[in-house]
Amino acid sequence: MMLRGGVARTGSLLAVAAGLLASLGCGSSGTSTPPPTKLPPTISKAFGAVSVALNGTTTLTFNLSNPNTTLSLSGIGFNDNLPAGQVVGTPNGLTGSCGGGVITAIAGSNSVSLSGATLGASTSCTFAVNITGTTTGTLNNRTSAVTSTEAGSGGTASASLIVAGPSQQPPQPTDITPISAEAYYVLNQLDGLQVDLNNNSTTDGDHLLQEPRTFTNTSQRWTFTKISGGFWQIRNVRNGLCLDSANISGVMYVVQNPCGSAATEQWILTATNNGYYAIANNSTGLLMDVPSTSGGAFLEQTALSGRATQSQQWLLRPALLRGVDNALLEKQEAARIATGFPWWKDAGVETDVLQILKNHGVNMVRLRPSSAPPYSNPSQPGCTGNACFAETEEQDLDLAKRTKNLGMSLELTLLFDGGSSASVPPAWSGHTLAQLQTDVYNYVKAEILAYRQAGTMPDLVSIGNEVDTGFLGSIGSPTGTNFGGFAVLQIQAMQAVADAAADTTLGPAIPAPLTCIHITPAWDLSQFFTLVNQSTIPYDAICQSYYPFFHGPLTDAQAAVANPNNQPVEQDVLVAAANNIGKPIFIIEAGEHYENGFDSNDPWYSPTGPTLQSQSRFLLDLQTVQQDLPNSLGMGFEYWNPAGVNIPRLGGGWFNGGTNLPDAIYVWNGLTIFNNADGSGATNVNDPNYSTPLPALDSLGGH
């Protein structure tokens, strides 16, 4: 009995123990479930704008969530001590709530907090307050860890806000001088003839004279070098001799002699108007002049009497154009002023963009007016499509004045709608070919007269932009079988340019600008300009766009490495056109990547990704190709939108690429030759390298 009683007692104890363990959750895994994990609350936050102006305000939104599916959380809270330079706005603009908790955001204080909030399972809350930026810079903001009674502490939340200070546009400089050590043609205002050697003479003391323009003989190219005292030495590119002064039979002539330091070889340049100079000899004080309008007339020196006469005024036109298409510069500048973002810088100093370009050797600026009329509302409220990517007539004329005030040449592309020349301006909608001829003539003449009257006569005029892709609708667009409509419109436009220069209502007639027709490599240059010549269109130069990532390899060596689309080799096309057509060739648009960005990379300069060096190499290669063209017919090249770096909008988004917005500017990231400061993936306007020149600018300028 005792044993049975003992066994019974043992079984009873085991049962009790098993029950106790089960109640404590220590039973078999096959027969019990562990309690759910208690997760702490989560927190995130975001500013309502990427950036604000100094003392500007935006919202800061907080979102808190309970990630538990069956458990409520109470006692939820956090503190957000704002960084120096941020305060709660006045008023604080508090909106929203959070689980009955207390939100503290005192206007003008530097903190936001939440305490005592409760969130049911799988619920969340959102509230927002106004934040004002009181110090410039990129201000990073991180909260404390969010806490709760049941699940302890969770993570933090962070966000950053750019506060932009007032942007002060640097003074717009006046420095009407050529670029030292650059070669120029020297053109007389009275007759349009150019300073030349006497039958390519290499004889010391020989006369210099004026002759009709030639692009092929380097005897008309003169290198201007600034020397001590602010004087200029003028050396002939062909024979290396310098302009000098000589009294021959009582007449003061301009002659050539070995270059030296004598005062007779020192010249003073005084700007007059429309890009012209009076050129005086330092020794004699007399002005360079010509006695007649005949080719072959010897250069003389004559006294200034009042204002310089036309025969005493000379235009300096670069022999190799190193240009930029910065036609939206004043819109880009307006965006900087509106946002307060830093200006473009050179050597760490905020500087006028055109001055930066000239400092690095750029000698030409391209503008593309989209005047109203005939175009509608260019970059004005209510604009649509391409018209939003244009500047007003006032902006263009002002930019032209700034260009001439730096002694730079000016190129105008007319009949540009903000994207191309394919559309018919709204004011001319439905017009016949005969009516369009009158429209084009009147418009082009009026435009050239406006620039002439402003003292900004262009040096080169292109009638249309990439006209092989379309010109003034189907009536004027050229095709291989129908070139007639295009031809008669171009003839009218070219005549209008000449007539505007000859018009005497603004004063004595002056030489007409050079003219060109601008196409893309989609149409072979020799074939297209053979049709132009057959159509008797008067023009001076061939203008072409060339971007490797659009148009193919530059050289045969590159094509041998890769030519995936079997595109024409640009150098071969240019050489053939120089031989076949015999006109100077100007690459009026060019561009290449320095980093990934707009459009795809190419296999020649970006086989493993673009670099600063590959962008520079492209421009050096393009210069070499231009300089090696037969008969010295390389006229130069122009870089598209070099300063068009990304500019954020204060309310979020970008000025670049704005749809139907009057302040829109082009998207060109990765292709500018100023730094976009986006190494982290997004442009940082407070990066010290933002909007500073890249090495390619010196390659463009020949430095």
- The pLDDT, as a whole number, for residue 3 is 28
- Print burial letters for 522-537: b (CB count within 10 Å at least 16), e (below 16): ebbbbebbebbeeeeb
The ranges assigned to domains in the chain are 42-164, 182-318, 321-551+584-590+634-670+690-701
The residue ranking higher by pLDDT, 96 or 703, is: 96
β-strands 222-226, 208-211: how paired? unpaired
Give residue 94's identity as a one-letter amino acid code: L
- 78-92, 160-174, 343-357, 626-640: which has the minimum mean pLDDT? 160-174
Q: How confident is the model at residue 168 (pLDDT cuts 50, 70, 90)?
A: confident
Considering the domain 182-318 in this protein, what is its CATH number? 2.80.10.50
- The pLDDT, as a whole number, for residue 8 is 34
Whether domain 42-164 has CATH 2.40.50.100: no
Report the topology of domain 321-551+584-590+634-670+690-701.
TIM Barrel (3.20.20)
- The pLDDT, as a whole number, for residue 680 is 64
Q: Which range has highest mean pLDDT (16-30, 159-173, 620-634)?
A: 620-634
Nearest to 82 by CA among 115, 113, 126: 113
The pLDDT tens digits for 213-249 are: 999 999 999 999 999 999 999 999 999 999 999 999 9
Q: Cα 638 vs. chain centroid, distance in angstroms?
A: 12
Mean pLDDT across the stretch 297-315? 97
pLDDT at 25 over 80: no
- Is the pTM of the predicted complex or chain greater than 0.95? no
Q: Which two tokens stand for residue 611?
A: 């670099």
pLDDT at 379 over 90: no
Mean pLDDT across the stretch 40-65? 90
Domains 42-164 and 321-551+584-590+634-670+690-701 share a fold: no
- The pLDDT, as a whole number, for residue 32 is 60
Q: Cα 542 vs. chain centroid, distance in angstroms?
A: 23
Q: How confident is the model at residue 382 (pLDDT cuts 50, 70, 90)?
A: confident
Return all residues near 18 (Cβ < 8 A) that are at least 6 apart.
27
pLDDT at 197 over 90: yes
Q: How confident is the model at residue 33 (pLDDT cuts 50, 70, 90)?
A: low
Could you count the other beta carbons within 10 Å of the beta carbon of residue 143?
A: 21
Q: Are 583 and 576 in contact (CB under 8 A)?
A: no
pLDDT at 212 over 80: yes
- 19-23, 435-439, 618-622, 657-661: which has the minimum mean pLDDT? 19-23
- The pLDDT, as a whole number, for residue 11 is 40
Dist CA 447 CA 449 (whole Å) = 5
DSSP for 382-411, written as a single string: T--GGGGSS--HHHHHHHHHHHHTTT-EEE
HEC assignment per residue over 207-260? EEEEECCCCCCHHHCEEEEECHHHCEEEEECCCCCEEEEEEECCEEEEEEECCC
Q: Which two tokens stand for residue 311?
A: 């025969």
DSSP for 56-113, written as a single string: -EEEEEEEEE---SS--EEEEEEEEEPPTTEEE-SS---EEE-TTPEEE--TT-SEEE
- The pLDDT, as a whole number, for residue 160 is 82
The pLDDT tens digits for 623-655 are: 999 999 999 999 999 999 999 999 998 878 899
Task: Provide the percentage of residues in the chain whose pLDDT is more than 70.
Answer: 95
- The pLDDT, as a whole number, for residue 19 is 46
**Across the chain, what does the average pLDDT equal?**
92
The pLDDT tens digits for 113-122 are: 999 999 999 9
Phi and psi at 456, nearest 5°, equal: -130, 45
Task: Provide the percentage of residues in the chain whose pLDDT is more than 90.
Answer: 83
The residue ranking higher by pLDDT, 50 or 381, is: 381
